[in-house]
Structure 1
């Protein structure tokens, strides 16, 4: 069952009475500023990623891969029992 026009109108009137017109318009303005800021941040991030990836060569790690904790524990146990 979808809401009718009268139900939507009553809910809108109750919201306006509770919050007031000034407060609702202020919240919508803040919401718009937040969305604009978010989009600007995404655009800046995309531009910095694009410029960073084109100017830098991919890095190759020369450090050995980390040993899982389970293997380290088994090796330590073997060394203790061998002594």
Structure 2
């Protein structure tokens, strides 16, 4: 029950070839390699983003009070209470 011998691996290989076919295995391995490359690229992009400081926050000008219809009602009510 130790490690698998070369004969065990050959049998596994033959069964895999029978199940997937000769052309499917290289295609699967190519997709697997592309996935690993994309993962590594994503990790490098994350590290590059972490190294760069965030851009300074944009300053927002203060809001000015403008006369809106809702404001004019409030002022007319205030005027009537004052009279």
Greater Rg by CA = 2
Q: Tell me, which stretches of 5 or more residues in structure 1 are unaligned?
A: 57-83
1:26 is matched with which residue? 27
1:49 is matched with which residue? 50
Q: TM-score, normalised by structure 2?
A: 0.60
* 2:36 is the counterpart of 1:35: yes
Alpha-carbon shift at residue 10 of structure 1 (Å): 0.8
More helix by share: 1
Q: Tell me, which stretches of 5 or more residues in structure 2 are unaligned?
A: 57-83
Alpha-carbon shift at residue 52 of structure 1 (Å): 2.3
SS in structure 1 of the partner of residue 53 of structure 2: helix
Which ranges of 4 or more aligned residues in structure 1 deviate by more than 2 Å? none
Superposition RMSD in Å:
1.5
Q: Deviations over 1:7-51 (max 9, x none)?
A: 111111111111012111111000000100010000011001100
| Equivalent-residue separation in structure 2 for 1:40 and 1:13 (angstroms) | 34
| Equivalent-residue separation in structure 2 for 1:52 and 1:45 (angstroms) | 13
